[in-house]
Amino acid sequence: MSWFKRQNGSIGIEASAVPPADPTDPRKNGSVRTEGLWVKCPECGKPIFRAELETNAHVCPHCSYHFKLDARSRVALLLEPGYSLIDLDLRSTDPLEFTDLKPYKRRLAEAQKKTGLNDAIVNAIGCIGPHPVVLSVMEYGFIGGSMGAVVGETIARAVDRSRETGHPLVIVSASGGARMMEGIASLMQLAKISAALGRLAQAGVPYISLMTDPTTGGVTASFAMLGDLNVAEPGALIGFAGPRVIEQTIRQKLPEGFQRSEFLLSHGFLDAIVDRKGQKQWLTQALGWLGRPGYVG
């Protein structure tokens, strides 16, 4: 029997040619549930299947745009299996009882629920290739990766642990800067971490700083730029004040790509730009070189 039959002057599909509906089929009633299955790249605008994006280290397969990566995923990407997450028990307080659009305590509670972390930092110990390391990774999803007393203390513990064990330190930055809700307690962390890194350098233990998008404010003004090697992901925004603030202050148009990692590399502020998918191999080679006899931090 033909599948098509003229009905009232139009062509229709013969009912007997259509298989009966499966009540368990998600496509029933003519709809398919696709929410969350696809992601649009903000750089090239092309759709990406979410599963493909995840297997590609959250890098666009079309234009190599680097999506933001949460701290736990970053740890898993860099370290060999068998690593340990540490220093996760510290929690921020509200010494100033700060309130802007909402109370700081509520912001903390919401960020903790959203990320499953107590604050914007994750410390880990493990290996990158054959090299044992101390790794500290910032979580941008927790109040913009802002650095308060807990972030400062956690990073300082990572620096001290690196100095005590002699294992190289790797810090991955992703931050909007100091956390204004904690006032001077936040700004004190810049000097605290910088002093700890000074002691680490005196001990001759290597430190590699990996900057991701964005790395700004007090984080850039302190530990992010103090590495023996300062490297970044492609296209990362890195700077102290943001471009709009600078343009409004100096009343001049900034150069194209100003404060992006490629601009900083061309002006001598970075040692390398490393694609996310090649970071583990690059760090393995760099740690091997930094660990050779005769290295002086």
Residue 21 lies in a domain: no
Dihedral sign, CA of 260, 261, 262, 268?
A: positive
Structure confidence at residue 12 as a pLDDT band (50, 70, 90) = very low
Would you state the structure tokens that stand for residue 48, as one six-digit string?
A: 């990406």
Rg for the chain, CA atoms, rounded: 25
The answer to whether residues 217 and 92 belong to one domain is yes
The Cα–Cα gap between 93 and 10 comes to 71
Question: 62 with 75, same domain?
Answer: no
Q: What is the pLDDT of residues 77-135, one digit of tens each?
A: 999 999 999 999 999 999 999 999 999 999 999 999 999 999 999 999 999 999 999 99
What CATH number is associated with residue 139? Answer: 3.90.226.10
Do residue 117 and residue 49 come from a single domain?
Answer: no
Model pLDDT, residue 8:
53
Taking residues 235-254, what's their average pLDDT?
93
* 56, 144: one domain: no
> Which residues contact residue 206 at a Cβ distance below 8 angstroms, ignoring those fewer than 6 apart?
168, 169, 228, 229, 287, 290, 291, 295, 297
Query: What confidence score (pLDDT) does residue 3 get?
Result: 45
Specify whether 60 is located in the same domain as 174. no
Sign, Cα dihedral of 191, 192, 198, 201: negative
Q: Are residues 109 and 194 in the same domain?
A: yes
Confidence of residue 20 (pLDDT cuts 50, 70, 90): low
pLDDT bracket for residue 34 (50, 70, 90): low
Task: Tell me whether residue 98 is in a domain.
Answer: yes
Among candidate residues 46, 67, 88, the one where a domain is terminated: 67
Whether residue 155 lies inside any domain: the answer is yes
Q: Give the contacts of 270 (CB within 8 A, at least 6 positions apart).
A: 211, 230, 231, 232, 238, 261, 264
Query: Are residue 235 and residue 108 in the same domain, yes or no?
Result: yes
> Quick one: 182 and 276 in the same domain?
yes
Report if residue 7 sits inside a domain: no
**pLDDT recorded at residue 289:** 92
241 touches 235 (CB < 8 A): no
152 assigned to some structural domain: yes
Which pLDDT belongs to residue 14? 43
Q: Which of 49, 67, 85 is the last residue of a domain?
A: 67
Residues 142 and 89 both lie in one domain: yes
Same domain membership, residue 86 and residue 49: no
Its pTM surpasses 0.75: yes
CA dihedral of residues 51, 54, 59, 61 (deg, nearest 10): -30
Angle at 201 between CA 148 and CA 240, to 5 degrees: 40
**pLDDT over 50 at 16, yes or no:** no
State the average pLDDT over residues 175-197.
Answer: 96
* DSSP conformational letter for 129: T
Instruction: Say how far apart CA 145 and CA 234 lie, in whole Å.
Output: 19
Range of the domain at 58: 36-67
285 located within any domain: yes
Q: Assess whether 40 and 164 both reside in one domain.
A: no
Give a yes or no: residue 6 inside a domain. no
pLDDT over threshold 90, residue 297: no
Average pLDDT for 56-85: 97
pLDDT of residue 282: 98
pLDDT at 276 over 80: yes
48 and 173 together in one domain? no
- Tally of domains in the chain: 2
pLDDT score of 21 more than 60: no
Above 60 in pLDDT, residue 210?
yes
Report how far residue 200's alpha carbon sits from residue 111's, in angstroms, rounded to the nearest whole number: 32
Position 143 confidence tier, pLDDT thresholds 50, 70, 90 = very high
Q: Please report the pLDDT score of residue 242 as a whole number.
A: 84
